Structure 1
Amino acid sequence: MGRVRRNSSYKLAKIYDRRSRELPFNGEVAEIEVDDPMALDSGDRIVALRSIRSDPLGRLHSHHQIDEVQYRGGRAFQSDWERAERGPQAVDPTREYVDGARTREPVTESQRQAVLRLNRIERELGTDGAALVHDVLVLGLTMDQIGQRRAARTQRWNDFFARRFRECLDRLALIYGFATEATGRRSEPHR
């Protein structure tokens, strides 16, 4: 009986190829290097795709218009904003119905700390800087849209808003501890 020949083009690496081959019709993505969640050794990294379609901070970071420290400061602000926000909430069907009256959820300590940090940020950035950061990081507006909202539609104003936004991101990095002011150098936090 003859020996079974194996296909020499068979590659074990293709089994573990986790890359997506198809993107959504209107998807905008950028490559980012992240820790490999399935790695056997700690510290292994893989290249992943992140959506930047409705993420102005991610878009600025992927196009190298802001650095890693500014990016982390912006993400920390977004995290605090989401934690502190107490807007409309969905109805919880597991809770007992009592004449349509809902008791308010108690304010947690993390929400209180987030509000305190946001108040400090507003004091340090000023009214205009805080409004600019809110427009970009919470509402997701571009510099052109911010200029339209403020009736300043020229390229010079767009450049001013972009420069001012980067200054605000530098200040956020200082507030959240991603940078130090004394030396003027940025520091990377330990992972």
Structure 2
Amino acid sequence: MAKSTAKRQDGFQSQHIEIGTMKHENPGWTRAHDGEKWAPRYIHPTVNLRESAIVALRAKNAIDECQYGAAELFRRLFEAMGGKGARAIDYSREFVEGGRFPDPIGDHQIDAGKRLAAAYEALTKAHGLYAWRLVGYICGEGRSVHELTDTRRQRDTMTDNLRTYLDCLASHWGFASRGVDTRARKVENQPTSRNCK
């Protein structure tokens, strides 16, 4: 892993970039071409490990593919709802006659809100309100586990709890049924988490 900082012209340093690789299932892989060099089942793209806490946890194999998929979907829905910088409506803008007044809330936001509400019900019913808050802090707001804890023991406990909560969301959204090999967790000595059903 390489760390680099870029110095801007005004003398300030930009955010640190930490380059690493992350194992992903190849979207172009098919059973017909299994074993071919040009179509591997898993690819290892280069990513910025400081993009979010979820990317860093996935790169360190602290969470599996299903948990990562659930976390990324939560992040996209959270951002669609305006969780990371909602845009305000400019009421001072003059509209032409016959023009359409923009909706303050779009269909995409409504759909994201409904999906997050269903996920809230599933997660809080199984694990309580703390589970929703923790997933919101880490997956939605992009806070790191180090930022929320003081000691190594707290970080390990929070990461274990996060795995359990992401398993619940993965089960709720159907990520667990995509055929991801669950034996990999046992091989990598990662604890198995309870699923919500």
TM-score bracket for the superposition, by shorter chain length:
0.5 to 0.7
Query: Which residue is 2:168 aligned to?
Result: 171
Q: Could you tell me how far apart the structure 1 residues matched to 2:117 and 2:153 are?
A: 30
CA distance in 2, matches of 1:121, 1:112: 14
Query: For residue 58 of structure 2, what is the amino acid of its counterpart?
Result: H
The yes-or-no answer on 1:27 pairing with 2:17 is yes
SS in 2 for 1:179: helix
How far off its partner does 1:89 sit?
Answer: 1.9
Question: Match of 2:19, as an amino acid?
Answer: V
The residue number in structure 2 matching 1:123 is 121
Q: Cα deviation per residue 1:13-54 (whole Å; 9 max; x = unaligned)?
A: xxxxxxxxx9742320112467699xxxx8478653111113
TM-score (norm 2): 0.61
**TM-score scaled by length of structure 1:** 0.63
* Distance across 2 between alignment mates of 1:75 and 1:118: 13
Identical pairs, percent = 24
> 2:179 aligned with 1:187, yes or no?
yes
Aligned to 2:64: 67
SS in 1 for 2:78: helix
Q: 1:169 and 1:140, CA in 2 relative to 1: closer, same or farther beyond 3 A?
A: same
Counterpart of 1:97?
A: 93
Distance 2:132 2:120 in 1: 5
Could you say which residue in structure 1 is the equivalent of 2:188? none
1:84 corresponds to 2:81: yes
**Residue-by-residue CA offset, 1:81-132 (whole Å, 9 max, x unaligned):** 112227542788xx98339xxx663433332221111112222222111100
Q: Distance in 2 between matches of 1:51 and 1:175?
A: 28
Is the alpha carbon distance of 1:65 and 1:36 closer, same or farther for their aligned partners in structure 2, counting shifts above 3 Å? closer
User: Equivalent of 1:134, from 133, 136, 141?
Assistant: 136
Shift in CA distance, 98/172, structure 1 to aligned 2, threshold 3 Å:
same
**Which of 107, 110, 119 is the equivalent residue of 2:108?**
110
Take 2:27 and 2:153, find their aligned partners in 1: how far apart are those partners?
A: 42
RMSD of the TM alignment (CA)?
3.4
Residues 33/144 of structure 1: CA separation in 2 closer, same or farther (3 Å cut)? closer
Which has more radius of gyration?
1
Q: What secondary structure sits across from 1:28 in the alignment? A: strand
Provide the C-alpha distance between the structure 2 equivalents of 1:36 and 1:169, rounded to a whole number of angstroms. 22
The answer to which of 42-51 and 159-168 deviates more is 42-51
Amino acid of the residue matched to residue 135 of structure 1?
A: Y
Work out the CA distance in 2 between the residues paired with 1:171 and 1:106: 32
The corresponding residue for 1:7 is none
Q: Distance in 2 between matches of 1:164 and 1:46?
A: 28
Aligned pair in 2 of structure 1 residues 176, 105: CA closer, same or farther (>3 Å)? same
